[in-house]
Amino acid sequence: MTAEALRFSMKLPETGYQALTLPFADPRHYGLGKHGWITFKPSSRISKALKEQFFGWARESYRAVAPKKLARALEEPAAPAKKKRGPGKAGRLSVVVLAAMTFATRGSAQTPPAASQNPSPMVENTRAHRRLTQREMPGTAKTFSGPDGKPVDVFIPESARRASVVNLVIHFLGAAWIPEIAVSQLGKNNVVAVLNLGAGSGVYDRAFSNPAAFDTLLASIGRELTNAAGMDVKIGRITLSGFSAGHGAVRAILREPRHFARIDEILLLDGMHTSYVPEGVVMEKGGSLDPKNLEAFVRFAEEAVKGNKRFLITHSEIFPGTFASTTETADYLLKALGLKRTPVLKWGPNGMQQLSEVHAGHFELMGFAGNTAPDHIDQFHGMPEFLARLNK
């Protein structure tokens, strides 16, 4: 089988919406897509980070379709290995991948364990859900090892190649080619760095819980820019962009006062969550929002309202159920700022349907229709237009 002919499906009830950001991932046909099944048709060029992500998704798929006893065994610590017996770590992981794909082929009907959030429908036919086309942008690409050993993809558009001072966009979560298109379309002296650290906002938060991690990241990006240009390159304006769970890195970075002062702009694409208090108790049943994960965003929004920062938030209507939705957190933020939504009916990027908006100083919030995975992915594919709006 050639690399181009490779095709496989996995059931991803927890993180399928993230998998659908990939240009070669689609909901599985025959109605299986709405139950979390996703078909992958990768090209021969698969990065190390993507390979690691496939292994992680394979584990999730195995847990979703395997008999409960086997699924539990996957999470149990392995017994001490004896010499010349059994596969090593790589071998065990390969077995997981093969098992996940085998169960996918057989279509096991085993009941999966409870997901960490209510799974959103994978198919939606009301809105257009137009997707950007992946294309290679003119410029220079660099990669280095970043937080947790994960690769950091740096892209320098041709327009910024000879600049001695550049504006830096750091984006968290999602295929790198979309932020590369977004920054290339900004023109002038803009560059981008993209990080994918895994599933869940906690992974991104923990990676930057130590302020030194962001210091190291900036220094490493600066080094790559200088090496690519063959001269000393300084970083000017810094924009942090987070899609979905990627917002966890943004909030962690903002907790450090030095970094809060250094960041000029923030773009959150359907990604600003927090827990309920008590845990898992939704607001209609007496729960409230845990403010700890929102405090940094409130402070940054206050500065944006004053005109000292720039902040753009977009959100869908997805209701995760076990943690606060982006609509609920947006409402919390607006209440803290003393602002109210204005109802609107507008077309957004790629056929998105905008329902509300807020403008105050350099702060802007845009609410969009949709509670499905395609609606969530719309937000990421709208990044070029949203980033341009933030910089207008």
Interval 52-80: pLDDT, tens: 778 778 888 888 888 877 777 766 655 55
- pLDDT of res. 53: 75
SS3 370: coil
Is residue 374 within 8 Å of residue 20, measured between CB atoms? yes
- pLDDT of res. 309: 98
Q: What proportion of the chain, given as a percentage, has pLDDT over 70?
A: 80
Mean pLDDT of 268-295: 94
Is residue 242 within 8 Å of residue 249, measured between CB atoms? yes
- pLDDT of res. 55: 79
Residue 116 reports pLDDT greater than 60: no
Is residue 368 within 8 Å of residue 316, measured between CB atoms? yes
- pLDDT of res. 48: 65
Question: Global pTM?
Answer: 0.78
- pLDDT of res. 7: 80
Mean pLDDT of 349-377: 96
For tokens 């957004």, the residue is: 348
Residue 106: band (very low, low, confident or very high) from pLDDT cuts 50, 70, 90:
very low
Residue 188: band (very low, low, confident or very high) from pLDDT cuts 50, 70, 90:
confident
Identify the DSSP state of 188: S
- Taking alpha carbons only, the member of 359, 177, 375 closest to residue 270 is 375
CA distance 346 to 56: 38
- pLDDT of res. 144: 95
Domains of the chain: 3-106 (no CATH), 139-390 (3.40.50.1820)
Residue 90 reports pLDDT greater than 60: no
- pLDDT of res. 130: 94
Beta pairing partners, 241: 171, 267
| Strands 37-40 and 8-11, bridge-based pairing | antiparallel
- pLDDT of res. 44: 59
Residue 223 reports pLDDT greater than 80: yes
- What is the average pLDDT score of the chain? 85
Between 68 and 362, the higher pLDDT residue: 362
